[in-house]
């Protein structure tokens, strides 16, 4: 697994998962990633969601999470879609690509308009959202995230205008 090689060679990449856990039981990791998909019982306060990975060949580039609906809390902060590109693959357009693909998936799912939030000073994420047609609702202080304001953007997908 090249991710493992990158970590071991000290290239500075990070994973949200512990490498030992992944290699010990990858199936368990995948089951964990699908636990909130439709058809599964949800813990209180959770909504159905799905994860997708962006890969190139055998290389993992990033991940995206698509929430199928919003709770009051997600409406305030978090939104429908969250994403991350691995550090060594940033600033090459993959963030813009992963959000574009996620918006296509959101359209398939009938989600819309789509809410995406980011910290005011997350200029990479701002660029990604704006490149995908995000329209700024405004900057807000929210209780879930007290150290800095957030920006809320909306993307209206074709067919979700109403």
Ligand X SMILES: CC(C)(COP(=O)(O)OP(=O)(O)OC[C@H]1O[C@@H](n2cnc3c(N)ncnc32)[C@H](O)[C@@H]1OP(=O)(O)O)[C@@H](O)C(=O)NCCC(=O)NCCS
What stretches of 6-144 adopt beta strand conformation (E)? 49-56, 59-67, 81-85, 114-119, 135-142
Look at residues 95, 94, 66 and name the one whose alpha carbon lies nearest to residue 79.
66
Nearer Cβ to ligand X (48/90): 90
C-alpha–C-alpha distance, residues 12 and 86, integer Å: 10
Rounded to 5 degrees, what angle do the CA atoms 131, 132, 134 make?
A: 100
Report the site for ligand X in 90-119 (rule: CB under 6 A): 90-96, 118
Tokens read off for 79? 């939104």
Look at residues 26, 15, 159 and name the one whose alpha carbon lies nearest to residue 85.
15
Residue 46 as a binder of ligand X (CB under 6 A): the answer is no
Residue 13 as a binder of ligand X (CB under 6 A): the answer is no
CB of 82 to ligand X, least distance (A): 6
Which of residues 6, 54, 64, 85 is near ligand X by CB under 6 A?
85
CB of 24 to ligand X, least distance (A): 26
C-alpha–C-alpha distance, residues 90 and 13, integer Å: 11
Residue 22 as a binder of ligand X (CB under 6 A): the answer is no
Residue 49 as a binder of ligand X (CB under 6 A): the answer is no
Residue 127 as a binder of ligand X (CB under 6 A): the answer is yes
Look at residues 148, 149, 55, 64 and name the one whose alpha carbon lies nearest to residue 114.
64
Residue 128 as a binder of ligand X (CB under 6 A): the answer is yes
CB of 20 to ligand X, least distance (A): 23
Residue 149 as a binder of ligand X (CB under 6 A): the answer is no
> Which residues contact ligand X (rule: CB under 6 A)?
82-85, 90-96, 118, 122-125, 127-128, 131
């Amino acid at each position: 697994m090249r991710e493992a090689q990158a970590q071991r060679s000290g290239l500075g990449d990070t994973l949200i998962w512990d490498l030992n856990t992944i290699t010990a039981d990858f199936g368990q990791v995948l089951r964990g990633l699908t636990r909130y998909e439709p058809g599964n019982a949800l813990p209180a306060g959770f909504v159905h969601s799905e994860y997708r990975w962006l890969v190139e060949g055998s290389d993992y580039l990033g991940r995206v999470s698509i929430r199928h609906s919003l709770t009051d809390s997600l409406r305030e902060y978090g939104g429908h879609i969250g994403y991350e590109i691995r550090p060594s693959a940033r600033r090459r357009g993959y963030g813009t690509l992963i959000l574009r693909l996620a918006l296509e998936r959101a359209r398939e799912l009938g989600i819309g308009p789509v809410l995406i939030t980011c910290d005011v000073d997350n200029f990479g994420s701002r660029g990604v959202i704006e490149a995908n047609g995000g329209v700024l609702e405004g900057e807000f202080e929210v209780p879930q995230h007290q150290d800095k304001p957030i920006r809320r953007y909306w993307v209206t997908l074709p067919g979700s205008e109403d």
